Structure 1
């Protein structure tokens, strides 16, 4: 049951929404953004105004991306209601919707122009810092807040982030950008746009470099190259090509971690992608599309473990001698993956009041990671899907959205993910919606087959992960009531989502109990090494009891004066579970207030973001728990536009984490050694950028 303050908040929000709706603010020409709500493409795969969608969606457009001054794409998602984003270190991002992210958040689908970028070798999550895309190429980001497996399958369990890049026909010309700042920030990018009749080409190159956060081994040097081509074959058909390359080095690990279980090293990655899409429109209300993409990822991650570190924690002389002997143990965490995906989709309007879409998709993943799957060959998995979505206007004020995805993945039976929503457009810019969906998330290859061992002279010092071939998909039944209000005279927008999400068979990283014998190469181990006794073993398994997430989230966008906008986000979540670790893995609240302003040639933004306490991070120590306290962070950006001759130039000064150093996530083997003192902290970063367009 939800607590009384939650119900009070719901009632208060309802009253506030109507009060705000009845008050008009003076506004300039910028009100047109709200008067004609933009079409969104992601929720049902059908082009729909926001008030027609079967679920809540937040759009971050190119103007807001530029105004933020952010260098990292994932940080933008802190501006979205319900998103919980953190950093354990400067070169890695932890991104979830409604928490439950564990070590590697994988409850959310991430797309670039419809191409899935969740990674088989990144444990089913997205490697946000290795995506082959630059912020300047993005037209908008559509975030579906709620389960969307009816449109995108298993990984859209809690939501979808679709990054949509700009069509070459909408480009204005070439540009360059350079950035310099604190802690070694030295970024550079260039964009070249060419058009010749029906062909448009854009080539983007970007380098991101910094030394990370103070006191942490987390520097990075990432290079990205991206090519987009749009070829108009006829008045009815078009061919689009996207090719991306991301390579670089990232500093990893910590100096004082328990038994050196995450040693300091530099990992290198090389990721490549190719995406081809053909679209054909027989008429204005019909479209066929056929797409193929290929992703290839490779990481070199090698280091040596010195298990004698922190030997002072061990008092037994025999155990101390054992640890001193276990030095310079090589760890080869090199891994590579491939993905091939083919999709056919058909959209049509059969009647003035009815539009529909159907499609089929086939995918094959291949993963070679000897360290993650001890003694096993490369793993592979095949998937196929059939999906459909329907929009039916029952009456002028009533709209029905129905959809379903039939999905089959190796090692499992056919699963059906349905969705049903009813929207009541009451007039005056107000829309109420209510709906239900059911979704499944299949175990990743890592969750099912993980077998990770640290071996020295033929003896297993630590059996970190054990496989669980009997693990089952987790299921969610999501119910929601939503309210969308375009305020009078286009002065703002209010978007509210009240949700109840019931999850069965949640997949958790769980300790292997002491009564469960340790078997190595078919033989029982009666006296495990001291490292195994302290660190223990884990496996991914299904939680035996249901988990419930109840809460509300809302966003209020106001333009109370000319050239200015205020955006307020707030989320309250109550997680109900029989296991405390599950409850604490969801921050009970998040909030954010952003002010965007223009003053002639000047523009700026200021964001104050609040994150509630959460038990989230990476690593494992048997019996050890640590909850990161709530924190507040302040970000700003201010820009001046001018001309150098005929060249438009923008100078921008930006900073993040201005409120000072704070902890956002925990690395447990390091925190175990440090005690109550925050072991991983992020701090201020300030940089100056120069952007010129030609």
Structure 2
């Protein structure tokens, strides 16, 4: 480790020395008024624009939201492998990892890391939000980092433009036009932690049309787990994913264009075992989509587009599991809905006493007395409550009906002489397979009415459907109808108003309207103060709203119930849920400024968000109580500075201060452990203070980027306020050889602190993660 640290330090110093010498030569001849070009953004001749916030192409000073724009040159300079890694450079954005489904978590300011369900993510206008179990699975997005032209991140609610689920923000990924990527690119990356990536991309023209075909394969071994040492990996969370995508641009006429996109994606994701699994329930995923967009320009002031897509997602997750035979007793299915805590004691707690070979005779005698008394109806509910509290220290509130159900279950285990069969295990094969489909069609019209007034409006229809015997006992669907409109009005030369909203009506949830009102006071053409008020909702998904969730094990081993197939007693049905939309009301005061004389861009945001009706509980089979009654107040400051201080050097600095306060709703059905968990989960991913600083030098066919991340008080509730710090170095070298451009690169990531990311096993056994890459473009 000491040797690696010395090597790493030497690498940083060498890069600094090279960059410093180059910078000294560079500064003397640099004129920011004529030479500036930050990361592909024309900071002088062209006014920086944004496309996402209001569905209008707007100068940054007039955008009605806080927005971060990341261009292709910055993505290449940072050397990141994935979109979540890219989000670490966005102020107020925190990147972690879920606990169960082996999925990266990305949240703006504060949100649960377990399910990515409060952020809208678009790729060329197509939502990659899952249809049935609302979440973003980052590994399932079939886009290569090399194909991305820009990423626009709207930091704050934007349901006024994109509807429910644009709750905390929108990540809009815009890929390069095929006509702009002519040629062939081959790349390969290899590193420790099992990193192995490969890319093939080819673009060409066919007459006046252009296309791009991309093939990519990515893999890594994930975290090493809390018990791993010396670089060993004992945590089952590897990923192997690949895809093929095709982009085709066709000019029908000078005023009409048709764009097609399609992709097929496959992958394997390791999933850790639950207490009931005898083998790892790994996921095999297969996805695909087809999208077409027809764009027509009526004249220079009026154009429309019609967009439609279909996407499908097949997830296969087979399990081999065991449980007590009692846990498959049909009488306990209905009892679980009535008294879940008591049913768990009957189905799991009591059988564990009989199954444990170390159970003392005294404990076994007490269990026999309790079980026999319930089975023969000789104990009253009050007597059972007292016996359990005296012997186990647990408190239950029981009715006679609870004892009646337990009496049937215990009676079924009686073998004529005793209840020893309660310790029997039954094993079988189950699955969490699900197919999700989405059909979406949208029409959008943009109109410039006067020099001071323009609007964008549209309608859309979407059908989300799912088919799963485990989650829904068959097929379910939800239809959503939307109408939206946004208007931009320059009331005075220095004052611009943006007013808009989205109305949504759907089958599974109440209708909702999400408004936004913003005023931008232009201090100069490229400096402004903005005041934004917005509201947004997140709609509960099909699993939250319409569950028929139970696990069936097939081909059970011999059992006293003589079952071939058994349904595990834990279950969730629609009439157990009364969930409302999650809601957010946000107010922000911001400043945006581009200072040409310094070649500098600065954005600062002060905000206060009120979130209500949050569904903080984990959506899992054993989730006894799920409600939409958590509240959270979040306030703080975001900042972002982009400064090209010489011809070949730029600096990126972003950071945030986050103050989040959580107020739980009704906790009477919960025990102390669950209350404590809920109080932490919405802030588990956040840091009070966060900063990242990145310096890039662009030399003569080579480049170096140094980045420092620092989170102060990261995951404070679980991590005792420890810092989370890391350095990154990305070095690249290219050559130009008669039309062939070979390249090599080195990426080195150094963890300063040993703190785990979010959960105890999300740690690496090494502090240095590195990869080498090579490629050629021709």
TM-score when normalising by structure 2: 0.75
Alignment partner for residue 581 of structure 1, among 664, 675, 680? 680
**Deviation larger for 397-406 or 317-326:** 317-326
Q: Which residue of 2 aligns with 1:30?
A: 36
Q: CA RMSD in A?
A: 2.9
Is this contact kept in 2: 1:511–1:538, CA < 8 A?
no
Q: Which residue of 2 aligns with 1:103?
A: 114
Distance 1:651 1:227, change over 3 A: same
Partner of 1:174, secondary structure, is strand
Partner of 1:387, secondary structure, is strand
- 1:295 equivalenced with 2:295 (yes/no): no
Distance 1:102 1:92 in 2: 9
Partner of 2:736, secondary structure, is strand
Alignment partner for residue 66 of structure 1, among 76, 91, 95? 76
Alignment partner for residue 624 of structure 2, among 516, 523, 538? 538
Partner of 1:226, secondary structure, is strand
Alignment of 1:152-163 (within 5 A): 152-163=162-173
Distance 1:283 1:304 in 2: 62
Is this contact kept in 2: 1:464–1:537, CA < 8 A?
no
Distance 1:183 1:328, change over 3 A: farther
Distance 1:37 1:97 in 2: 27
Is this contact kept in 1: 2:106–2:113, CA < 8 A?
no
Alignment of 1:48-67 (within 5 A): 48-67=58-77
Q: Which residue of 1 aligns with 2:155?
A: 145
Is this contact kept in 1: 2:61–2:525, CA < 8 A?
no
Alignment partner for residue 665 of structure 1, among 753, 758, 778? 758
Is this contact kept in 2: 1:628–1:665, CA < 8 A?
no
Shift of 1:345: 0.5
Distance 1:227 1:117 in 2: 17
Q: Which structure has the larger Rg over C-alpha atoms?
A: 2
Partner of 2:470, secondary structure, is coil
Distance 1:628 1:316, change over 3 A: farther
Q: Which residue of 2 aligns with 1:504?
A: 612
Distance 1:263 1:286, change over 3 A: farther
Shift of 1:265: 3.7
Q: Which residue of 2 aligns with 1:560?
A: 645
Q: Which residue of 1 aligns with 2:259?
A: 240
Q: Deviations over 1:408-431 (max 9, x none)?
A: 111333321111000001127321
Distance 1:536 1:387, change over 3 A: closer
- 1:635 equivalenced with 2:728 (yes/no): yes
Distance 2:302 2:629 in 1: 45
Distance 1:217 1:316, change over 3 A: closer
**Deviation larger for 221-230 or 445-454:** 445-454
Q: Which residue of 2 aligns with 1:610?
A: 710
- 1:599 equivalenced with 2:699 (yes/no): yes
Q: Deviations over 1:631-677 (max 9, x none)?
A: 122222100111345411221111335437542122xxxxxxxxxxx
Is this contact kept in 2: 1:305–1:330, CA < 8 A?
yes
Distance 2:521 2:152 in 1: 23
Q: Which residue of 2 aligns with 1:412?
A: 509
Distance 1:197 1:510 in 2: 53
- 1:486 equivalenced with 2:600 (yes/no): no
Distance 2:279 2:271 in 1: 8
Is this contact kept in 2: 1:581–1:615, CA < 8 A?
no
Is this contact kept in 2: 1:424–1:433, CA < 8 A?
yes
Distance 1:64 1:102 in 2: 27
Distance 2:318 2:305 in 1: 42
Is this contact kept in 1: 2:740–2:777, CA < 8 A?
yes
- 1:84 equivalenced with 2:90 (yes/no): no
Distance 2:619 2:206 in 1: 60
Is this contact kept in 2: 1:465–1:539, CA < 8 A?
no
- 1:495 equivalenced with 2:595 (yes/no): no
Distance 2:251 2:756 in 1: 50
Distance 1:583 1:88 in 2: 12
Is this contact kept in 2: 1:207–1:221, CA < 8 A?
yes
Is this contact kept in 2: 1:633–1:658, CA < 8 A?
yes
Distance 1:354 1:428 in 2: 17
Shift of 1:316: 6.6
Alignment partner for residue 543 of structure 2, among 441, 446, 464? 446
Alignment of 1:638-649 (within 5 A): 638-649=731-742
Distance 1:660 1:72, change over 3 A: farther
Distance 1:439 1:337 in 2: 25
Partner of 1:212, secondary structure, is coil
- 1:181 equivalenced with 2:191 (yes/no): yes
Is this contact kept in 2: 1:554–1:570, CA < 8 A?
yes
Shift of 1:379: 1.5
Q: Which residue of 1 aligns with 2:57?
A: 47
Shift of 1:443: 0.5
Q: Which residue of 1 aligns with 2:14?
A: none
Shift of 1:469: 3.3
Unaligned 5+ runs, structure 2: 1-29, 225-232, 325-348, 358-420, 554-562, 665-678
Alignment of 1:210-609 (within 5 A): 210-214=220-224, 215=233, 216-254=235-273, 259-260=275-276, 264-306=280-322, 317-318=353-354, 320=356, 325-326=424-425, 328-373=427-472, 376-427=473-524, 429-454=526-551, 463=570, 467=574, 468-509=576-617, 537-543=623-629, 546-579=631-664, 580-581=679-680, 584-585=683-684, 586-609=686-709
Is this contact kept in 1: 2:256–2:294, CA < 8 A?
yes
**What is the count of residue pairs matched by the alignment?**
619
Is this contact kept in 1: 2:353–2:423, CA < 8 A?
no
Shift of 1:319: 5.4
Distance 1:228 1:245 in 2: 12
Distance 1:290 1:271 in 2: 24
Alignment partner for residue 687 of structure 1, among 771, 774, 777? 771
Is this contact kept in 2: 1:26–1:560, CA < 8 A?
no
Shift of 1:489: 1.1
Shift of 1:610: 2.5
Q: Which residue of 1 aligns with 2:343?
A: none
Shift of 1:329: 4.3
Is this contact kept in 1: 2:97–2:105, CA < 8 A?
yes
Distance 1:127 1:303, change over 3 A: same
TM-score when normalising by structure 1: 0.83
**Deviation larger for 591-600 or 142-151:** 591-600
- 1:117 equivalenced with 2:128 (yes/no): yes
More strand by share: 1
Shift of 1:626: 8.1
